[in-house]
Amino acid sequence: MKSNLDEMLISSIRNIPDYPKPGVMFRDITTLLGDARAFRRAIDELVHPYAGTKVEKIAGIEARGFILGGAIAHQLSAGFVPIRKKGKLPHDTVRIAYSLEYGLDEMEMHKDAVVPGEKVILVDDLIATGGTAEAAAKLLRQMGADIVAACFVIDLPDLGGRKKLEALDVPVRTLIAFEGH
C-alpha cells in the first residue's frame, strides 16, 4: 500500500514513454517542481533525516540536482557545490571520467569547493544505473569530503545504481521507486 507521500510524489511526476530512446520510460520531475506543494514536501522529506546535524555542503549534480540541492542547502543552512559537465566551471577544477551507455564523459567541480573533512550530501533527481552519482561520489571523496548521504527523489532499483553507491559505503536516501526502466 502506498503512503500519502508516495501518492503525492508519484502523481506529480510526468511519465514520458520512449524518451530519450524506444523502451525507456522517462520520469520527468519538472511537473513536481512546478507543483508548489509536492516540491515543498519532497524537499522537506529529503532534509528531515539531516535536520539538526552538521552538514557543511550540498553537492548537486547538473542540472536537476542544482534545483533540489539549492533548496536542500537553504533548508540545512549549508553551502552549495555544483558538479558540472566538463568545461562549464570558470575557475580551477578537478575532474573525473565516467562511463556512459555509449562512451565516456567527464564531470568536474571547483578545486576549492570542498575542504577535506567537510560533511557533504550528494543530490540529484533520480538514481538509475548510478554511473553519474558514483563518479560524483568518487570526485567528492578525491577532494576529501565526508559523504553523509546521497539523496534522490526517485530510485529505479532494477537498474542497480543504489547498490553502486552502497558498495562505496555511501548511504542512499530516496523517496519513491519505479520498477522497470
- Answer for the pair 43, 72: CB distance below 8 angstroms, yes or no: yes
The Cα–Cα gap between 179 and 181 comes to 7
Residue matched to cell numbers 543504489: 162
- Answer for the pair 103, 133: CB distance below 8 angstroms, yes or no: no
101 is known as an active-site residue: yes
The Cα–Cα gap between 11 and 48 comes to 22
CA distances from 118 to 30, 54, 57 (A): 31, 9, 7
Q: Please pick, among 27, 64, 162, 173, the residue that the annotation labels catalytic.
A: 64
The Cα–Cα gap between 152 and 146 comes to 18
- Using a 10 angstrom Cβ sphere, with 0-12 exposed, 13-18 middle and 19 or more buried, the burial of residue 45 is middle
84 is known as an active-site residue: no
- Residues serving a catalytic function are 64, 101
